[in-house]
Structure 1
């Protein structure tokens, strides 16, 4: 039954018009506090970076379990990983590749490289810059 799909990579198993995206909503870099928001059936060919941010803001504001995240200013997205690619060794965010920051809200997700099963971090840019200067976590002390 499933043999027809055994050789299909998951990043191309779904069309770009119905992708699954995981947003890693980061509350604190120092304490590694993050919660994943999985969005299904995202149209990567029409959804913009700004619209994806709004979807995340709405979910945090309205869905149960997100109350501790409602006071966090979330303003920038950054690629964390894509299906079948290497992951960073940092458990909270990849500190290299600042070209993976998505701060132009008008860009279409497919145009900036989103695929099915793309995982992106959503966080406060100012807190990220502070963490980059001193990447200590509470677990390292």
Structure 2
């Protein structure tokens, strides 16, 4: 089953401006650690396929995402934030899971004042 796993990653550049890019990864190994997956996303199969603002941004962590949220859910951090020592499987990632990749500082600021600027 591992080779058939598809995970969508939301690269969140700005919560306030709802600026994100979706990247789909096919054939993932759910037994890799969260740290390995972070490095895999950073390196990317083809990093040039991302626009420069997304390619050069210093992302730092993942959260499982509820698909009914435009950028991501702000609730249940203790359940949703993937822990570095876990495998993706242990963290609850399954086929067609959607996760966000973002900077913790940006997330904390947005969570404290969740207003959008259009």
Give distance in 1, aligned partners of 2:60 and 2:4: 25
Is 1:117 the counterpart of 2:103? The answer is no
Residue 68 of structure 1 deviates from its aligned partner by: 1.2
Match for residue 62 of structure 1 among 28, 47, 51: 47
Residue 130 of structure 1 deviates from its aligned partner by: 0.2
Q: What SS does the corresponding residue of 2:44 show, helix, strand or coil?
A: helix
Q: What is aligned with 1:37?
A: 23
Give the ranges of 4+ consecutive aligned residues of structure 1 lying more than 3 Å apart after TM superposition.
none
Give distance in 2, aligned partners of 1:79 and 1:23: 9
Is 1:95 the counterpart of 2:74? The answer is yes
Q: What is aligned with 2:111?
A: 132
Which structure has the greater CA radius of gyration? 1
TM-score, structure 2 as length reference: 0.90
Give distance in 1, aligned partners of 2:74 and 2:64: 11
| Contact 1:75 1:125 (8 Å CA) reproduced | yes
Q: What SS does the corresponding residue of 1:120 show, helix, strand or coil?
A: strand
Give distance in 1, aligned partners of 2:108 and 2:15: 10
Match for residue 85 of structure 2 among 93, 98, 106: 106
Residue 65 of structure 1 deviates from its aligned partner by: 2.9
Residue 52 of structure 1 deviates from its aligned partner by: 1.0
Give distance in 2, aligned partners of 1:114 and 1:23: 12
| Contact 2:48 2:55 (8 Å CA) reproduced | no
| Contact 2:7 2:24 (8 Å CA) reproduced | yes
